[in-house]
Amino acid sequence: MSFPLRLIPPPIQLTDVPEPRFDHVLRLSDSTGMLEHARTAIARREHGYCVDDVSRGLLVAAREPRPAPELVRAAERYLAFLTHAQDADGAFHNRMSYDRRWQDEPSLGDWWGRALWGLGTAAARSRASWIRREAYYAFRLGARRRSTWPRAMAFAGLGAAEVLRADPRDQVAAELLGDAATVIGLPGSDPEWVWPERELTYANPVLAEVVIAAGDLLGDEALLSDGLRMLSWLCDMQEHQGHLSTVPVGGWRPEIPKHRHDQQPIEAAATADACATAAAVTGDERWDAPLFQAIAWFLGDNDIGTVMYDSETGGCYDGLTADGPNLNQGAESTLALVSTLQHARTLASRSATRPSGGLA
């Protein structure tokens, strides 16, 4: 790994990081699912719901080790929404209007992959047995399909990885995870551009994470090494003046100067997810440094030094622009914040057990 050993940058300390809060997640949720957009902190009903965000909601709810009763009830609604979105062949609708009418036909886009990620996580981690059973049924139905889109396969592969961690004998999950890694491909030999694609677009850390997970869970050391090399290179690419500067809307291409805006919270969250997986798989504490960079991005250690969450509502701003944050607090961004703070809680617990009491 080529990223430098980096201590927590002042003035942000790990003790400054807030606990995950679900206030705004529940504010955006109703008896149907989770509303996609907000103007400031107020849900915009006219924009309806999408499987992408409901899947993310199920995922973060399932990750909670001690969920409050209202979060368990919300997870049940998210699961019911996803099973309603799924057709008999395992594909998913994505968009539903506020009057509960689907706006598209079932297919295998990114939302199919995110649905399987959320379902796989719920099947493996939910504290409610009835949620685990139904989530696993829907996961297996969707896992029979394959998408032609690498990111859709990567999202689905992460759901398969969750199932495999819970049951290493699950052949359906193992096949899906292996196929996801194959679709993504291997890193290149050019040290200036290791990435298997010719540009960095969106959700890039997810590609590295699923290769890491496949190498680990399928017992392929070479594949694990490839995934770690991809993630290390990406962390280097996204580090700017000592902090995380994620690939923005519009992407980056080789030999073209990087632009820095607009950055999306979901990209910082994906970086946190991938680094947390790398740390768990390898036991290497050096991954804690880029993980903390992703956490600190939300707290103001970013390109313009601005905090990206609303401490009053518990919501997260929708994007980081050259002029400051987009103050709308939609579902995707808020769930990205919650997901990252869940990793921060785990990192704080792990750091507290070390002799130095801090990041190594």
The helix/strand/coil state of 147 is: coil
pLDDT at 288 over 80: yes
pLDDT class of 355 with cuts at 50, 70, 90:
low
SS3 39: strand
Which pLDDT score is estimated for 350?
A: 86
**What tokens appear for 346 in the block?**
């785990």
What share of the chain has pLDDT > 70, as a percent?
A: 95
- Token pair for 343: 């990793």
What tens digit of pLDDT does each residue of 48-106 get? 999 999 999 999 999 999 999 999 999 999 999 999 999 999 999 999 999 999 999 99
pLDDT for the residue 353: 75
Q: What is the pLDDT of residues 165-191, one digit of tens each?
A: 999 999 999 999 999 999 999 999 999
Whether the per-residue pLDDT at 201 is higher than 70: the answer is yes
Under the banding of pLDDT at 50, 70 and 90, the label for residue 4 is very low
Pairwise CA distance, residues 235 & 157, whole Å = 21
Check: CB of residue 254 under 8 Å from CB of residue 193.
yes
